[in-house]
Amino acid sequence: MITVSDESDAEYFNVEPVDGYIVKTGGSINYEAPFYYQDSYTEMNINFNAYLFNSNGDKIADGASPSTGKYTDNGVKKIKVTAPKSAGMYRLVVDYEGTIDDVPFKGSSQAAVRVVVPITLNAEVTNTGDVTSSITVSFIVDDNIVEGSETTLDDLAPGSKKTVTYEWVTDSLGEGRHTYKAVTADDVVLSKGEFYIGHDDYQWATMVIALLFIVLIVALLYIVRKPVKNYGKPKGRR
């Protein structure tokens, strides 16, 4: 009797991100799916299928590429995930099934994919000197340096301006107000700013003002439409 082996008979099979599992909406991120069989063998024919699912368990079309492939030897398959336009938690699932020396094998592995809306940081850089120079700019958010945000502006002419933009892909910030600043390599502050995640004070203020406005309209309508009681003619006219 031939039994179907599962992934425990493989020395190793796993789906794992190459450079983190966080990706911006509409962006792409790479994963690896290594498969190794511990014993010696003559022939390997293992097919795999890759899928991307949302948190509801719905399959995302064209979310994983390649969506199918084959292992003919121990090795690593690279799979690119294309992020949907909606932020949220997703799952990359890779199933495999086939034979090694005519012995059936099958199994599955999965990895998390976190899709976020990127935080866009902007800074306007002006060369206030008299000579053309290069300026290196980095961003600091809530007094913490943003890794990877360093940008060098080459050959910036005197008096000229350029805007530095950095899309920060992160899920490390909580809701509320956050501050950021752009600094040079010499810690000279070029510009400052702020942004909000989730609802902010201005949005709440707008909601309160709108609510008060609606209450005021209702009150005015009540006053205008309130029936006037007829108490008869003044005494002098009776």
Residue 204: what pLDDT? 39
Residue 225: what pLDDT? 55
Q: Are 99 and 149 within one domain?
A: no
By three-state DSSP, how is residue 177 classified?
strand
Residue 238: what pLDDT? 47
Q: How many whole angstroms separate alpha carbon 60 and alpha carbon 57?
A: 9
Q: In the predicted model, what is the mean pLDDT of the chain?
A: 83
Q: How many whole angstroms separate alpha carbon 203 and alpha carbon 195?
A: 13
- Residue 39: beta bridge partners? none
Q: What does the pLDDT look like over 152-173, one tens digit per residue?
A: 999 989 989 999 999 999 988 8
Q: Report the pLDDT averaged over residues 141-148.
A: 94
Residue 229: what pLDDT? 52
Q: Are 30 and 50 within one domain?
A: yes
Q: Report the pLDDT averaged over residues 226-236.
A: 52
Q: Are 28 and 110 within one domain?
A: yes
Cis geometry, peptide bond prior to residue 66 (ω within 30 degrees of 0) = yes
Q: Which domain holds residue 54?
A: 7-116
Q: How many domains does the chain have?
A: 2
Position 15 in a domain: yes
Q: Are 158 and 83 within one domain?
A: no
Backbone angles phi, psi at 236, to 5 degrees: -65, -20
